[in-house]
């Protein structure tokens, strides 16, 4: 089968492609081709499979139909500009995140008009579709009130995914990823960045800044769990979803204090001492409006799994990013 990954140069996209190339099959069907698409040509793994990189902007004239003409059997649509950028640049956010998604779905519909075509499509939505006031644990039937343009664009993507699926143009499943932690790489300016950096930096002997209090609660899963979600989604019989094509996924609801205690257990007091408290009211205000936890009953019943402690999430990072052990 031919698998296409949109957003292939991003952190999750790269890990997903590596996993696909390593497995060489998906749900028992051999993969013969992987195509990675991103705004810059993504680096593709060295593999016996046919691996191609395509550079281009999904919202640009003709781009969506060009890639859909390759008739991939399975499409992962992870491509998006992130929350902060979509908020800073209104037009760009709508162009990439809404128009780009619509262009993809339309290209698939039109491709199917020529000759029957109905690919499985996994769409990554976000917990940013929810906005305060929120219950401590968000039920599967709780309504969407995005408080950012990014969240609005993702919520529109969910609606389009459901309608294009209902019409039989594609076979879609949407997944609302928890905040992926520990993100590898350097500290960034995202308001959520500290959730990763207060663990990642001390695990490598570096200092990290904590801008909020210990009692701040949020919703997490590891990058490895994210890849697991994406792969699991491809195997679901989507009839089981009915008209409700997007799922809130399982994750770990934890406080910053619980993150720090896990760091202490895994890496010791010295690591914890590298966290410098520097309260930032603006970041505290933003984070306060975010979801704190989900019931995720439907996704759990459908077999999605995530970590159940921050000790696990930290160990995943040590295994996958630090070669299995802490630096001396």
- Which residues in this chain contact its own copies in the complex, by CB under 8 A? 90, 131, 140-147, 149, 152, 155-156, 159-160, 162-163, 166-167, 243-244
| CB nearer its own copies, residue 181 or residue 248 | 248
> Residue 150 catalytic?
yes
Q: Rounded distance, CA 257 to CA 264, Å? A: 11
Q: Which of the following is catalytic: 94, 117, 150, 164?
A: 150
| CB nearer its own copies, residue 54 or residue 147 | 147
CB of 260 to its own copies, least distance (A): 32
| CB nearer its own copies, residue 167 or residue 325 | 167
| CB nearer its own copies, residue 125 or residue 222 | 125
Burial class (CB in 10 A: 0-12, 13-18, 19+), 182: buried
Q: What are the CA-CA distances from residue 146 to residues 46, 81, 125, 143, 209 (Å)?
A: 40, 16, 12, 10, 28
Task: Give the side-chain half-sphere CA count within 13 A for 315.
Answer: 9
CB of 160 to its own copies, least distance (A): 7
| CB nearer its own copies, residue 22 or residue 167 | 167
CB of 106 to its own copies, least distance (A): 9
Torsion angles phi and psi, residue 209, rounded to 5: -105, 130
CB of 273 to its own copies, least distance (A): 40
Which residues fall within 8 angstroms of residue 212, CB to CB, at 6 or more apart? Answer: 194, 256, 279, 280, 283, 284, 287
Q: Rounded distance, CA 299 to CA 175, Å? A: 9
Nearest one of 235, 233, 224 to 321, comparing CA atoms? 224
Q: What are the CA-CA distances from residue 239 to residues 112, 165, 166, 182, 232 (Å)?
A: 20, 10, 10, 34, 15
Nearest one of 225, 281, 291 to 254, comparing CA atoms? 291
Measure CA 327 to chain center: 28
CB of 79 to its own copies, least distance (A): 20
Catalytically active residues, by annotation: 150
């Amino acid at each position: 089968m031919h698998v296409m990954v949109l957003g292939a140069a991003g952190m999750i996209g790269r890990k997903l492609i590596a996993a696909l190339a390593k497995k060489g099959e998906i749900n028992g069907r051999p993969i013969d081709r992987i195509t990675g698409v991103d705004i810059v040509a993504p680096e593709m793994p060295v593999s016996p499979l046919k691996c191609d990189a395509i550079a281009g902007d999904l919202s640009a004239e003709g781009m969506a139909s060009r890639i859909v003409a390759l008739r991939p059997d399975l499409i992962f649509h992870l491509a998006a500009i992130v929350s902060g950028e979509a908020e800073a640049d209104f037009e760009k956010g709508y162009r990439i995140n809404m128009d780009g998604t619509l262009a993809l779905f339309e290209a698939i519909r039109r491709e199917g008009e020529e000759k029957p075509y109905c690919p499985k499509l996994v769409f990554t939505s976000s917990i940013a579709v929810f906005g305060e006031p929120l219950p401590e644990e968000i039920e599967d039937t709780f309504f969407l009130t995005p408080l950012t343009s990014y969240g609005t664009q993702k919520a529109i993507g969910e609606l389009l995914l459901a309608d294009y699926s209902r019409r039989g143009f594609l076979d879609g499943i949407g997944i609302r990823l928890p905040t992926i932690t520990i993100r590898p790489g350097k500290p960034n300016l995202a308001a959520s960045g500290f959730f990763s950096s207060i663990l990642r930096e001390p695990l490598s002997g570096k200092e990290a800044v904590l801008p909020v209090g210990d009692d701040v609660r949020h919703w997490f899963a590891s990058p490895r769990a994210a890849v697991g979600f994406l792969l699991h989604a491809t195997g679901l019989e989507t009839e089981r979803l009915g008209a409700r094509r997007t799922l809130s996924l399982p994750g770990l609801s934890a406080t910053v204090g619980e993150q720090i205690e896990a760091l202490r257990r895994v890496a010791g007091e010295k690591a914890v001492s590298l966290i410098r408290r520097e309260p930032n009211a603006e970041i505290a205000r933003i984070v306060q409006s975010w979801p704190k936890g989900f019931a995720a009953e439907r996704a759990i019943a459908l077999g999605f799994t995530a970590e159940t402690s921050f000790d696990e999430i930290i160990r995943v990072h040590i295994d996958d990013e630090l070669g299995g052990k802490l630096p001396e």
